[in-house]
Structure 1
Amino acid sequence: MSDAKTIFDAMIKRFDQEAAGDMDAVFQFELDDAEDHYVMVSNGECQLNLGEHDDATVTLSMDTETLAAVMSGELDGMQAFMQGKIRADGDIMLATKLTEIFPS
């Protein structure tokens, strides 16, 4: 099993400022088998935080294995959602941009 912090650290390193553009969003990750994290994207910058945000734009629930597979490009996020491996709440269309903002 992958360590959530390692996955998020790798994700943050791959942040594509251009793809994020003028996005202002909070991606909440509720992990079934690890601590929750959230990523704030604002003004062309991103910041990783531990815990829960009070007002997330979109909340994604999954296990670390699914997170690792989606962020590495091994698993298509929309496919994972359709298979029930990812549960989403909030601005679901924003979730589809995750792999653009954090390319593998």
Structure 2
Amino acid sequence: MSTVIEAAVAALNAKMDGGFDGLAKFVIEDEGSILIDDTGARASDAEADVTLTATAETFQAILEGEMNPTSAFMTGKLSVDGDMGLAMKLGSVLG
């Protein structure tokens, strides 16, 4: 597992303060994937209801609150495949 993925898993678990009511996956380009569900975040490439894909820089900016997830999506820095409602719910958890 890459150090970027390890750091992202830790940051997501701290930010979410528990699990997420859904099954979502973040794909960090050239690094790996993170699955988020009711048990929290972990490194995994399993299937999910929604998949969000971004560069490591975009993902980090979203986690640090420097970039709004909706703005990232609207400007093409974040792509979403699957359940858009679940993606919006995840955005509010992270934002």
Structures share a fold, TM > 0.5? Answer: yes
Q: TM-score range by the shorter chain?
A: 0.7 to 0.9
1:69, 1:75 within 8 Å by CA — same for their partners in 2? yes
Matched positions, count: 93
Q: Which has the larger radius of gyration?
A: 1
Distance 2:83 2:70 in 1: 14
Q: What TM-score does the superposition give when structure 1 sets the normalisation length?
A: 0.75
**One of 73, 81, 85 as aligned partner of 1:89:** 81
2:70, 2:91 within 8 Å by CA — same for their partners in 1? no
Cα 1:99/1:89, change in 2 over 3 Å? closer
> Are residue 10 (structure 1) and residue 11 (structure 2) matched?
yes
- Please give the residue correspondences for 1:1-104 in structure 2 after superposition, counting only pairs within 5 Å: 3-17=4-18, 23=21, 25-41=22-38, 46-54=39-47, 56-102=48-94
Tell me the alpha carbon deviations over residues 43-95 of structure 1, each in whole angstroms, 9 at most, x when there is no partner: xxx332322113x1110011111111111110011110011111101111221
Structure 2 unaligned residues grouped into runs of 5+: none
Structure having the higher helix fraction is: 2
Q: Which has the higher contact order (CA 8 A, sep 6+)?
A: 1
Structure 1 unaligned residues grouped into runs of 5+: none
Q: What TM-score does the superposition give when structure 2 sets the normalisation length?
A: 0.81
SS at match of 2:46: coil
Tell me how large the CA RMSD over aligned residues is.
2.2
Percent identity, please: 27
- Report runs of 4+ in structure 1 exceeding 4 Å deviation: none
